[in-house]
Amino acid sequence: MSLKRLLPILLLAAPFTLATLPGCSAEVTGDGDGEEQAGDDTKLSDTELGESLEAVSEAAGGPVNVPASASTTVWEVKNQWADKDTAEAKKAGLAWAANSGLTWEEKYSAWFKSFGIITAEKGGWSSTAKTWEFKTPQGKTVKSGVFECADTAMVMRVIFASWYNLPFYMTGWSNGQPMYAGHFGFVTKDGARAGNFPTFRTLYKDHTADWSTGRAWPSDAKLRTLHVGTDDNVPWITNPADAGAGAWFDDLLLNKRVGYFLRILDGYFGSVNLADGQNMFHVKPKAVRPGDALIERFQRQGIGHCVPIQNVENVSPTRMRITTASGSMPRRQAIIDFPEDSAHWFTNNAFGGPGDGSDGTPYAKLGGGLRRFRTPVLTNGRWQNIVPVAARADWINDDNVAAIAGRIAEWEQILSAGTPEEQRDGALRLIENARQRLRATPATCSGRTAREDGFKSLYRVMKDSFNKDQAAVDAEYRKAEDYVFAELDYPKSKTCCWNSTTDKMAQIVLDYATKEQARADVQRVCKLTVFKNGAGGKPNYDLFKQHATGMGRAADWKEWTEDERCEQRAVAEDSLTAAAKANQCL
């Protein structure tokens, strides 16, 4: 699960530094990667960011227009998302023919749908995991980068917009005032440079105009060494040896300013911004298309998830099959979930459905569900992020809570289920992928929840089509590790904030379970000790730490760290979800 949200960050007159921060965030401090720039200190906070989650008007107000010559500019705007009859719009492109009659928004969707499916190299948890690759206007084919969930959606949108000189911006908040990140850089309402954010146009190069096919690809030596976190390494890039997001940006982009911009956007914006009605709008299920995104919000502030839509197949007038792909934390390539594996995202109440989130706010008021980027237009000298005219019949206003929540039931009707065997096998794939993820990062609560989502799907199809109840399914398909890594209640469990656990730690935990299962007093796997804070009557994680020492592997055990902002850090004992409790012989 990708967990990004804005955090308090102090901008200093010093080079940027990125380090792991709570959730899907990366810490950004400083101004311009080597050039000091004076400016006031700026703080951005989760609380202030949340102010923008209420319903907004059709045209969300943006900043005063910033001219292309401004020092903050990242790329120049030459086209508009609604264009389809201009000279530029009539040209053939990545996934469309000349004179296609498509708007740039439709071309963005066509580009997403054209992505190739290849074997993942980072973060798939399985040797069979798939990711996407995509074409660039310069004739390259590029593998998915390594990002968290919301970053994946934002990065792809920014890349496309910058390639085709289309406007883009997102709204955040600073000290109760809006702050905008887009083609114009980071600016305030009046179009002035925000805080000490970089002057991209003066600091970094754009080689778009001076490169042509056959010439050497220009490289930015500084960008190439940069990272968005300690977990962003891209193993297929060997220069430098520890290549990360910066090297991926450098290989992908002629306009190096965009790479520097994306590196900062990664640290400041996330799923809570995508759930903001000023940045994306709710879409009716039957209007779903590639390039849209499912947003999970189960609380007003803090973690969430983002699942971009990669492909949509209309198998009948009333049925669809949808392929998704998403990043996560630790960072990974966009891992593909094929239609039978994707359905559980759409029918999960935390994705804008009925019921209440962990803080008592209705899910449907938290901004979750199917969303699409708003498109900026210039009106009376000011940018406005609007719902495109062509999409207004498909738009659900943020204050139409009933329609937002009602999409879950609609998804259940329109998603093509496949044969019973396909449904069963899809659920089993989801379960096994989650298990493999837990064997690599055993504290991940999203992995535990994904496994249980798989079991829910499995229970349903096995009951409906194979005449097996839950007990029979558990007896056939549950493994001891499912009880050891039982699902935790995120807001009440500090384990969920511990993102740096390792496969060696999982081995220690599972070895403890093997030894425990051999004891006379533990004859059923549902009585195994759960890997969580406060397990077995021991404080913190001492039970497993002691077992590591007894195995001679004390060095492989890591102490708990607050790898994302953890409001529940002081809990004496983590809490199981209600479903997990029911499975634990309690």
| Contact of 154 with 181, CB cutoff 8 Å | no
pLDDT over threshold 80, residue 296: yes
pLDDT over threshold 50, residue 340: yes
The DSSP letter of residue 482 is H
Distances in Å between the Cα of 259 and the Cα atoms of 170, 223, 228, 255, 256 are 17, 7, 11, 7, 5
* Tokens coding 5: 């949200």
pLDDT value at residue 39: 29
* Tokens coding 437: 């993820």
Nearest CA to 31 among 18, 44, 45, 12?
12
Beta partners for residue 576, in sequence order: 488
* Tokens coding 546: 């002691």
pLDDT value at residue 522: 66
185 against 339, higher pLDDT: 185
| Contact of 339 with 418, CB cutoff 8 Å | yes
Any idea which residue has 């992995």 for tokens?
A: 447
The average pLDDT across 518-529 equals 77
Distance between CA atoms of residues 445 and 303, nearest Å: 11
Distance between CA atoms of residues 334 and 301, nearest Å: 24
pLDDT value at residue 4: 36
pLDDT over threshold 70, residue 10: no
pLDDT value at residue 85: 95
Poorest-confidence range of 72-76, 489-493, 544-548?
Answer: 489-493
pLDDT value at residue 174: 76
Task: Produce one character per residue of 539-572: b if its CB has 16 or more CB atoms within 10 Å, e if not.
Answer: eebebbbebbeeeeeeeebbebeebbbbebeebe
* Tokens coding 247: 């090297």
Distance between CA atoms of residues 155 and 335, nearest Å: 15
For a pLDDT cut of 90, what percent of the chain falls above it? 65
The average pLDDT across 314-339 equals 89
pLDDT over threshold 80, residue 544: yes
pLDDT value at residue 149: 85
Secondary structure element (H or E) that encloses residue 222, with its range? helix 221-224
Can you say whether the dihedral through the CA atoms of 283, 353, 298, 501 is positive or negative?
A: negative
Long-range contact pairs involving 78-86 (C-beta distance under 8 Å, separation at least 24): 78/165, 79/104, 79/164, 79/165, 79/166, 80/104, 80/166, 80/167, 80/375, 80/377, 81/105, 81/166, 81/167, 81/375, 81/376, 81/388, 82/375, 82/388, 82/389, 82/390
Poorest-confidence range of 90-104, 216-230, 355-369?
Answer: 355-369
**Torsions phi, psi for 3 (to 5 deg):** -125, 20
pLDDT over threshold 60, residue 161: yes
The average pLDDT across 219-247 equals 95
pLDDT value at residue 583: 82
Cα atoms found within 13 Å of the Cα of residue 5, Cβ hemisphere only: 27
pLDDT value at residue 1: 36
**Torsions phi, psi for 184 (to 5 deg):** -90, 5
The beta strand positions in 258-368, using DSSP E, are: 280-283, 293-296, 305-316, 319-326, 335-337
Distance between CA atoms of residues 5 and 172, nearest Å: 11
Burial of 239 (0-12, 13-18, 19+ CB in 10 A): exposed
Average pLDDT of the chain, as a whole number: 86
Whether this model's pTM surpasses 0.75: yes
pLDDT band at 435 (very low <50, low <70, confident <90, very high): very high
The average pLDDT across 534-563 equals 90
The average pLDDT across 524-547 equals 86
28 against 206, higher pLDDT: 206
pLDDT over threshold 60, residue 19: no
pLDDT band at 62 (very low <50, low <70, confident <90, very high): very high
Distance between CA atoms of residues 490 and 327, nearest Å: 19
Distance between CA atoms of residues 137 and 216, nearest Å: 16
Alpha carbon of residue 429 to chain centroid: 21
Which residues have CB under 8 Å from 105's CB, separation 6+? Answer: 81, 82, 375, 388, 390, 391
pLDDT digits (tens, 9 = 90+) for 406-417: 999 999 999 977
Helix pair angle (104-113, 149-163), 10° resolution = 130
pLDDT over threshold 90, residue 485: yes
pLDDT value at residue 586: 54
pLDDT over threshold 90, residue 360: no
pLDDT band at 520 (very low <50, low <70, confident <90, very high): low
